[in-house]
Amino acid sequence: MSSSHPFHLAFPVRDLDLTRAFYAGLLGCSIGRESERWIDFNFFGHQITAHLLDSESESERNAVDGDAVPVPHFGAILDMESWRELADRLQRAGVNFEIGPRVRFRGQVGEQATMFLFDPSGHALEFKAFADQRQIFAAE
C-alpha cells in the first residue's frame, strides 16, 4: 500500500461553530461537505471530519447518507481499485462489516465507496475511495 493516499479521521465534538472557527478560521483548513451534525475539513491534505455528539445522543453514532456511522472512527482513502481489492478480500475472509461495502452520496458531490468494520479492540475503521480524487474535499 502506498503512503501517498490521504488519511481520514472522524472525531466527536461538542460545538460545530467553535470547531469551524478553530479548524477553518485559526488553522486555515478549507471546508468540504457539511451537514447540521458534521463538517469535513482539509487538514493539510488529509480529510478529518468533526461529528457533533452531545449529551442527548443515544449512542456515539451520526446519520450520514442513511447509515448510522460510528464516531469516532479513522481509516484510509484508497484509490478505487485498491478499495475494491480490499473489499473483496474482507468479504472472502467473512468479515462482519458494521456498514458493508457500498457507494455513499451516489450522484452527488463527494460520491464515494465506503465500508466500516471494527478491529479486535473495538476501534471503528472506515475505508473509502473516490472515483474522482478531486471530490475528497469538494463542498456541495
Identify the helix (H) or strand (E) that includes residue 33. Answer: strand 30-34
At the top level of CATH, the class of 7-135 is alpha beta
For residues 6 and 136, what is the distance between their CA atoms, to the nearest angstrom?
9
Q: Which three cell numbers stand for residue 39?
A: 463538517
Yes or no: say if 49 and 9 are a contact pair by the CB < 8 Å rule. Answer: yes
- Our CA angle for 131, 84, 79, nearest 5°, is 40
Q: Domain limits of the chain?
A: 7-135
Please write the tens of the pLDDT for every residue from 19-58. 999 899 988 889 999 999 999 999 878 999 999 987 655 5
Residue 105 has pLDDT above 80, yes or no: yes
Q: Which three cell numbers stand for residue 114?
A: 465506503
Mean pLDDT of the 79-105 span: 93
pTM of the model: 0.72
Q: How confident is the model at residue 1 (pLDDT cuts 50, 70, 90)?
A: very low
Nearby residues of 87 by Cβ (< 8 Å), 6 or more positions away: 101, 113, 115, 127
Yes or no: say if 42 and 101 are a contact pair by the CB < 8 Å rule. Answer: no
More confident: 16 or 133: 16
Identify the helix (H) or strand (E) that includes residue 87. Answer: helix 80-92
Per-residue confidence (pLDDT) for residue 85, from 0 to 100: 94
Q: Which three cell numbers stand for residue 74?
A: 479513522
For residues 35 and 71, what is the distance between their CA atoms, to the nearest angstrom?
15
